Structure 1
Amino acid sequence: MNDSPRPSFWTEDLLAILIGWTILIVSLGCVRFTTTVIAEQDTVGVTTADHLLADYVGNPKGWYSNPVDAFRKEIDPIETTGPGGETTTTPAFAPELSRLSGTLGAGVIIGIVFWLVLLITRGRASSFAVGFPVVFALGVSAYVLAGQAIVSAYNLEYALWALGLGLLISNTIGTPNWLRGAARTEFYIKTGLVLLGSEILMSRLLALGVPGICVAWIVTPIVLISTFWFGQKVLKIHSPTLNMVISADMSVCGVSAAIASAAACKAKKDELSFAIGLSLSFTVLMMVLMPAFIKLVDMDETLAGAWMGGTIDATGAVAAAGELVGPRALEVAATIKMIQNILIGVIAFGIAVFWTTYMDRDSESPNVGWSEIWLRFPKFILGFIGASLVFSAIHGGMPDGEMWTSESIGFTKSIRGWLFCLAFVSIGLETNFAELRKHLRGGKPLVLYVVGQSLNLALTFAMAYLMFKVIFPAT
């Protein structure tokens, strides 16, 4: 295996697009259609679909007292009657470790695909192969910990556990060099974002129409620009790139936006890690506190969903918070977040233009050409946008397109979840608290996040109320 540096042509962005689109194409090809003929109705055909690889990719699920149950399928609970006639219900699981094959299958698929691509492009494949089993094992542990019944009830998702496990290693024994080759934070996230594009269908955008677009697309850039200005002019944060990554992370959609904005403004890796850690901490708080507040004031579910969808950073956290409020809140929150996710590419391009033409401009070269902007632009976003357009076209313009995309996305969504999980593990492994201490001096980044998120909460609620209660009350 060749571990020499790969040619400059094979950038990480291009490899992320290559891997992401390979998975998407294979996934589409594995959708199998079956037509059942009903003789009593003059041979009317009923078409159904399934995915040939669905059983080979999965992740550990919920468990109660035995972690091994995370790899078993839950069956009907056992009811027992006590001596006093009281009935006790005990959760039950099938004896077979049926979910283990899907978990291992995800690891094998991701490991082999990434290893092969790195091998072919001379991208340090051997160091990746050595460390990947351990990184994946930490990811499995994160899923298992998140699946415990009490932990799950508090919505402490796998991302938090993945980050925590990585941090535990890096800040105690230290991350060994042989493990760093598989701690590929940006590579995992970029590939996952390409897959995420297939889930953002234009029909989702149209589902809420103008009200949803206004909540997601008007407030977000206002909060981003205002927060960055506040950090630069009022707080005078020492690093503009740290300021931008925190602002984008908080205002758009968390980790995904942080990765894209960091690439566009060339932020340092420790700045990106710090911003993501800050985001995850507040995400956990918001997805617990916001539903509690919403229930306390008896807020309308549509308004509540729009408010949560536009303010809680991570898509998974949005869904968890929406589910705590109700089905309508879940539907609206998830849709708003998906509409907001579309802005990732637009925001990344805007930051690239702003940074090259203003922030990095000097007196010797005041005019910056489009070639420099293109060089700065995070090109994996093109794979993300392309996936959204193609899957939207298939979903709405082909016979059985909705069924086709649904089955395909079900498979790729599981792969994406694993990629994000591995990315959070990698963030932890690459993060040392001693190195991050400098970013906390004076508490300015923390103040920036709190002020920016407070503005985000206020403006999003005002816009959601205006759109869903005043202008379009029937939506």
Structure 2
Amino acid sequence: MSSTVPASSPAAPFASTPNSPATPSDSAPPPPPRSLWHEMTTHDDWWAIWLGALILVGATIAVLAFGPVKFVDGKAALPSALKNWIAKPETWASNPLDAFTKSGKSLLPGIAAMGGLLLALFTGAQTLRGHNPLRFTIAFLGVFLLGVASFVLAGQHLLHYYNLEYVLWALVLGMVISNTIGTPGFLKPAVLPEFYIKTGLVLLGAEVLFGLLFRLGLPGMVVSWITTPIVFLLSYLFGQKVLRIESRSLNIVISADMSVCGASAAIATGAACRAKKEEVSLAVGLSLAFTAIMMIVQPIFIRAVDMDPVVAGAWMGGTIDSTGAVAAAGKLVGGEAEKVAVTVKMIQNVLIGVMAFAVAVYWTTKVEVVPNGPPPTLWEVWYRFPKFVLGFLAASIIFSILYAVLPQGEALVQDLITKGVTSPIRVWLFCLAFVAIGLETNFRELLPYMKAGKPLTLYVVGQTLNLVLSFIMSWIAFGWLWKGVL
């Protein structure tokens, strides 16, 4: 069982701990409640909401400032005056420097603008939270350059063909540094994986538009909202009752990571149960390894058996962890499969908040109950609940409304604001988060958690169940009961 975050460190949702797995006897009641105002001005959960809201509002104003939507080849086009400042390294064949040009134009101004925007936002936040702005600025620039290197590696044509995504290279680069020379001290002020990914998840909320999700209707919900909780619960019970994994928090973080949406679910669940950072890092590492395999093997299997593309898309959306990996795998099968896969994954992403709340309640009322002590209160559940989920839900609701009521709402919200502006920023945030996770990951500290290979066994068995059950539900929903619904 994971130890509770000390009251003096409200900004750190994951405990830093010695090299031994946690057991339930290690549990302690949550620290004394602080004022809501103190939490809202110091905790990275709340600051993720503030920064996410600032980005979303700024993106909306920037898009609307350019007037009526202009269409190119039937698609809404981001004005070049805005598009030129939003960039990341692109694909290349033999010369890595080619990653910094596209159609004869340099991408460096756009990459620098992305770095400058995120530097300004996070330096401001860290300064207001009481950290040294100069030290953070130097550290952030180092982490950002590692992020740039991750995109460059992922853009190499052969690696890009096999869908070895930037998140994998970001994690690998960070781990190579941390496990060889060690993470340099000057980088540590900007090694904030939870802060980056939580802010990115708030932005992801704006991409989860109910109008789009409901296009798949009931069959999409059947695949996502029935299969996922079953796999989550059974894999957790398998870890506790069969494998007897000592650390419940490690068990539940791996189960959530594997059944919902990878690292995002691991971060949210880890915050809800106060998991140790080593446990979250281990879950994320397992997730990325299996995602890299599945996004290549699943499309090959689907094409080999000539599976219906709609059923195939639903199956991939329900089993491959990362939204980006789902899109890449779907593209290998075809446009229809890609569309269904991404939509099913977005429906599944809604469960991030539900899962985090359920884990917070369960941990407070069942796992960390003090013997002969007072019963847990609603405040304790609220204290444990990861607040950034509120930002995710608020962004989803607000932008779903804008999508429905604004003239040309689909073009404005989906094509310009989210796909054009906030999604590229989210991708940068996820890249920085995985670099930071790698820089925090030390193999020697992970070894005690790998006793008898139990975490790997849990992931393999759970993912096998996920693959089988998701396929059955995808076939029932899209291949039988609602066949031809699209």
Q: Is 1:187 paired with 2:219?
A: no
**Mapped partners of 1:326, 1:5: distance in 2:** 46
Q: Is 1:105 paired with 2:76?
A: no
2:214 aligned partner = 206
Q: Once structures 1 and 2 are overlaid, which stretch shifts more, 224-233 or 121-130?
A: 121-130
Instruction: Decide whether aligned partners of structure 1 residues 5 and 269 sit closer, same or farther in structure 2, where only a CA change above 3 A counts.
Output: closer
* % identical equivalent positions: 52
**Mapped partners of 1:19, 1:176: distance in 2:** 27
Q: How far has the Cα of 1:429 moved from its partner?
A: 0.4
Q: TM-score, normalised by structure 1?
A: 0.90
Letter in 2 for 1:408: I
Letter in 2 for 1:27: A
Q: Is 1:119 paired with 2:151?
A: no
Q: Is 1:289 paired with 2:318?
A: no
Secondary structure at the counterpart of residue 107 of structure 2: helix
**Mapped partners of 2:10, 2:224: distance in 1:** 41
Secondary structure at the counterpart of residue 456 of structure 1: helix
* Post-superposition CA distance 1:440-473 (Å, at most 9, x none): 1100000000000000001100101111111111
Work out which of the residue numbers 395, 412, 416 in structure 2 matches 1:407: 416
Work out which of the residue numbers 262, 286, 294 in structure 1 matches 2:270: 262
Q: Is 1:309 paired with 2:317?
A: yes
1:28 aligned partner = 60
1:421 aligned partner = 431
**Mapped partners of 1:36, 1:23: distance in 2:** 20
Q: How far has the Cα of 1:53 moved from its partner?
A: 3.1
* Post-superposition CA distance 1:111-134 (Å, at most 9, x none): 111001211231343332121111
Secondary structure at the counterpart of residue 199 of structure 1: coil
2:327 aligned partner = 319
1:241 aligned partner = 249
Secondary structure at the counterpart of residue 396 of structure 2: helix
Q: Is 1:430 paired with 2:440?
A: yes
Contact 1:5 1:122 in 2 (8 A): no
Q: Hey, which of these two has a bigger chunk of strand by percent? A: 1
Letter in 1 for 2:47: L
Q: How far has the Cα of 1:362 moved from its partner?
A: 2.5
* Post-superposition CA distance 1:80-99 (Å, at most 9, x none): xxxxxxxxxxxxxx2x4x21
Letter in 2 for 1:424: F
Q: Once structures 1 and 2 are overlaid, which stretch shifts more, 273-282 or 118-127?
A: 118-127
Work out which of the residue numbers 334, 337, 344 in structure 2 matches 1:329: 337
Unaligned runs of 5+ in 1: 38-45, 75-93
Instruction: Decide whether aligned partners of structure 1 residues 197 and 182 sit closer, same or farther in structure 2, where only a CA change above 3 A counts.
Output: same
Work out which of the residue numbers 41, 65, 80 in structure 1 matches 2:94: 65
Q: TM-score, normalised by structure 2?
A: 0.88
Q: Is 1:222 paired with 2:254?
A: no
**Mapped partners of 1:441, 1:35: distance in 2:** 60
2:355 aligned partner = 347
**Mapped partners of 1:15, 1:324: distance in 2:** 38
Contact 1:146 1:158 in 2 (8 A): yes
Contact 1:249 1:279 in 2 (8 A): yes
Letter in 1 for 2:225: W
**Mapped partners of 1:65, 1:48: distance in 2:** 31
Which protein shows a greater Rg?
A: 1
Instruction: Decide whether aligned partners of structure 1 residues 394 and 432 sit closer, same or farther in structure 2, where only a CA change above 3 A counts.
Output: same
**Mapped partners of 2:159, 2:88: distance in 1:** 17
Structure with the bigger RCO (C-alpha within 8 Å, sep 6+) is 2
Work out which of the residue numbers 154, 157, 161 in structure 2 matches 1:146: 154
Contact 1:227 1:448 in 2 (8 A): yes
Unaligned runs of 5+ in 2: 1-8, 12-37
Contact 2:317 2:341 in 1 (8 A): yes
Contact 2:206 2:395 in 1 (8 A): yes
Contact 2:69 2:412 in 1 (8 A): no
Instruction: Decide whether aligned partners of structure 1 residues 265 and 124 sit closer, same or farther in structure 2, where only a CA change above 3 A counts.
Output: farther
Letter in 2 for 1:349: F
